Structure 1
Amino acid sequence: MAQLQVRVRGEVLRVLTLSRQLSIGRTPDNGLPLRDPSVAIRHAEITAEVGALLLTDLTGGEGVTFVNGHRLSPNQPHRLEQGDEIQIGPFTLAFLADPSVTAEAARPAGRVDVQGELAARPARPPLPTFTAERPPHDGLALYTEFLPPFFQESEFLGRYLKIFEAMWEPLQRRQDSIELHFDPRVAPPQVLGWMAGWLGLPLDPHWPEGRQRAWMREAVTLYRWRGTRYGLSRALETVYGLTPVLREDTAQPHTLTVQLLDSPDGEDTASREAITQFIFTHAPAHVRVTVEFVEAPATAAPADPGLQPVEAPDTGPRA
């Protein structure tokens, strides 16, 4: 039976046995979750046809999927052959139609479950926002074109119609592209807070504009994962550009340690108190959370002096 070997930087993470259908994406509800910001929520899909397995890119051009170094066209099935290597973000998926590996790679033994890899990413610059064009102030009004030729020659009538044109033309042009005003990627900055009120989202005005737009775009999807480890990790990546390492020790149930790099200098800089409060808000409600900050570029173990823990007050479960 065909298998799929998942590797990152040459290290084998797991080996999957392929069945009739396998979805590949960033969120845990996929058959193969690949937790990296460069992976789309629904990135690709492998389906079984008569005597073949087909790989289809589902990103619609917003993401990138390579097979043996060649980029796949969106929504165009590609037949997989023995030894094909699929590149999705930092992951390499090796297709083994006649595998020598017969079992999934075993998870390392131990009592501590560790998830994630420390990273800090700068915010992407926001796209140019949409602004309705205003009619030119020089010359006669455009509305004179709708009048009989005799009235088009009147200079006074042209100036008079210019008053109404200045009021109605921006509204008309905005109406022609109204969908751009409700797209968080390109909506005017003044509209972001209004849209956040619709969804009941906390939108901190101190966040850089790029972070605010990314948060608005991801928020509805993240509502499904609020209170989970994936939801917490993705929220931190979206708002602060920080990928955490999450640790759970079975010897201490209902505890979670969140390890983070300090925010880099620049417009993305956020105080530790703000990041800690954000974590407490989005962490699972039934656990006690400890936040540890590591001085970049250090990646030392928790016992390192560079770690500075901040513990949540023991006030019982949070609603």
Structure 2
Amino acid sequence: MPESRRTTLADVAGAAGTTVPTASKVLSGRSDVSAETRARVMRAVAELGYRGRSGRGAVPRTDRPSLVDLVLSGVEGTWANRALSGVERAATAAGVDLVLTVAHGDGAWLTRLLERNLRGAVLALVDVSADQLATLAAARVPVVLLDPVAQPPSTVASVGAANWAGGRAAAEHLIGLGHGRLAVIGADRVALYTQARIDGFRSAAAQAGAEVEVVFIEWTATGAVEAATALLGRPDRPTAVFACTDNIAAGVYDAAESLGLRIPEDVSVVGFDDLPEVQWLRPALTTVHQPISEMGEAAMRMLLRIMAAPPPVAPREELATQLVVRGSTGGR
């Protein structure tokens, strides 16, 4: 296709082996399209770089209802509640109504979002594919990724936390207390934030010549406890554990108790997130504070700016994390 010619919906339909009306249905969120056809159209949109109509005959975003969507990977737990509170606070201040959608694994959230003809969306901890992002761009729905699961394309805006710096701060704290045998327990091995936290931790440990063992768990009710029990039950157990989330840290507490180990006398523990529920842990958990509510607010403000005036370059914002020292860490 010549570079001078703009990709059209007819090109998309041809590449997907369907008709222009059917391709249009996919981009408008119509449900009367098979899952196989929908996937073909979305793949063609991504491969051809189709961006939708932007000239005469196009519907401007400002003519759409004053609604924006918050898409969450789930609504359980404090993380989702804090993210929602921040997004809602910024939306209310701007006089914009908010719609909440849960992104289940079947991808139906995208169809519902397109069908509502929203002005924009914040996608929070959603593992969104390149085809889905391309479909949103083709439908002219601006998005901001909040705490992205994977590295966002250069064309997609995002807000995250300083995960690398938080992981490094955790390691520096433990090394400063005299710990040389360290362990990390993480979940979501491929998630961008998990990788960043572990990489930051490892960088400080390598600089200090400390040993680090990394273990990944499955997100189950007992996954963290089982992994921590295996680590701490060995004769050469680590003297300190960095849990990549506070929920994992709670599992380390349970494992230590079952083995008759004291925190921090026998093993120090550091978490990540600083969720309200960790206040029930005893001793109080040393953890890396993640400004989740502020991240949600920043993501919505960024989306509102993009909706008002699309920037030439997708903005990125990273909010600072901070180590909060409490009673779960001690010297060797």
Q: Mark yes or no: TM-score above 0.5.
A: no
Would you tell me which structure has more strand in proportion to its own residues? Answer: 1
Would you tell me which structure has more helix in proportion to its own residues? Answer: 2
Greater Cα radius of gyration, structure 1 or 2? 1
Higher relative contact order (CA 8 A, sep 6+): 2
TM-score for the superposition, normalised by structure 2: 0.20
TM-score for the superposition, normalised by structure 1: 0.21
